[in-house]
Amino acid sequence: MGLLAPSWAGSAVADATGDAGYLRALLDAEAALTRAQATLGLAPKSAAAAVTAAAGEPHRHDPRTLALRARAAGNPVVPLVADLTAAVADRDPRAAAYVHRGATSQDILDTATMLVCARALDTVLTDLGRTADALRRTAARHRDTPMAGRTLTQHAVPTTFGLKAAGWRHLVLDAHDRLRSVRAALPAQLGGAAGTLAAFHAYAEAESGSVPAPDLGARLLAAYAAETGLAEPLLPWHTVRTPVADLAGALACAAGALGKLAADVLTLSRTEIGELAEGSGGGSSAMPHKANPVRATLIAAAARQVPALAAVLYGSLAAEDERPAGAWHAEWQPLRDALRLVGGAARDAAELTAELRVHPHRMRHNLDATGGLVVTERLVAALTALTGRGEARRILDAASRRTVEEGIELSEALRTARHRDTTLEAALPEARLRQLLDPAGHMGSAGALVDRALERTVHTPQEPV
């Protein structure tokens, strides 16, 4: 239920990846297999109808009971097949023989997992799209809103909040595109006991009395993929775990992209900075005044967990033989956890960005916090043209030290330097000095970069499975 996982509790992805969601996917995978065989004449159409009908009643199966019985075989498919076979027999005794015929447990569980992933990713992609749309509006609105650019935690040079928001959006779209690509490539799984599809050939030969065509398994694989709505794999991938590894990488990328947004919101919403605030911050059990950035906190928590889960999934690439002991089993829960964490983070990001409050006056106030030091880069460039680079650095280094040590404005320190140097005073009149000290005048290509970034569009995902 997610009592200790508020980051994904109550999300659509939590439902899609829950035990009930997995049960539905397992039953869908079994029904699709019988329908695919019926398409090729390997099973009666009446059997496909009976299996599909029985599989359409997930309420007849108790996930907890299946989980306990799964310990005997090491996976939940074995007890589910027994129960589904009995349910089909109640409808059509002759159809019961076609339940799970020719398949192995991994075929069904892998296919069901891909169905679960596809359904979960459809929700994630929608939420990432909502996040990108909100950030597009924010970046456009604050295209020219000045703020302090920070490097290594310190004020560096001025930037704009529009450029920061455009960067967040760019990351979100990177994550969206990677997940969309992975989503489109999620494959069905069908290989039989050792990836040769031999059982299907054996059943076909036994029933027809003749050796089937060598491409029977390949044609069945194509039909199965079509029935599930998943991609057709080139080969059975029992121990060729690229689909899972690719998904792991895309999920880790998405978590990190959203984590960057969250990290910035957490920093900029600190009381002493106050440049941003969540639209509806969370309360405290002890301090009535608190409005905590809860959504950003939950996103940040997810971003710290998903890479470790992805590492487990990458580790399962090293799977022995034609079907592995342990490597496959190790994927199940980490993959579900990663989907849930990214799904919850995407939901929270969509809500956070839609309600994010921006405080330009605080941004301007903080820009002035260093007494003008934030524009020294610009001043060096301007003075270099007048005095040479070495002398420009000497003047600015001395003025900067005075600003910090005496707590004065940089403008005052530079005016003192001008009074002591008539050449500098003539070359740098008061009006020009005021112009150079204005942070809004040192934005470079920030506005143009925002415009360029916002030309990138969101590609919608394919139709849901």
Distance CA 449, CA 453 (A): 6
Q: Which of 208, 280, 284, 445 is catalytic?
A: 284
How is residue 436 annotated by DSSP? H
Q: Exposed, middle or buried, 257 (CB in 10 Å: 0-12/13-18/19+)?
A: buried
Distance CA 50, CA 46 (A): 6
**In Å, how far from its chain's centre is CA 409?**
45
Token digits of residue 306: 């998903």
H helix or E strand, kind and range, residue 62: none
Under 8 Å between Cβ of 411 and 433: yes
Residue ranges of alpha helices (H) inside 368-429 are 376-387, 389-406, 410-420, 422-427
Distance CA 167, CA 146 (A): 15
Q: Phi, psi at residue 393, to the nearest 5°? A: -65, -40
Degrees to nearest 5, angle at CA 421 with 420 and 425: 110
Q: Exposed, middle or buried, 268 (CB in 10 Å: 0-12/13-18/19+)?
A: buried
**HSE, side-chain direction, 13 A CA sphere, residue 119:** 22
Degrees to nearest 5, angle at CA 377 with 375 and 383: 100
208 in catalytic set:
no
169 in catalytic set:
no
Q: Which of 323, 340, 347, 378 is catalytic?
A: 323
Distances (CA, A) of 329 to 191, 291, 332: 17, 42, 6
Classify the C-alpha dihedral 386-389-395-399 as positive or negative: positive
Please choose, from the candidates 8, 32, 237, the residue with its C-alpha nearest in 3D space to the C-alpha of residue 115. 32
CB atoms within 10 A of CB 223: 22
Under 8 Å between Cβ of 227 and 32: yes
Strand-pair partners of 148? 158
> Which conformational region is residue 444 in: left (phi greater than 0), alpha (psi within -120 to 50 degrees), or beta?
left
* Catalytic residue annotation: 284, 323
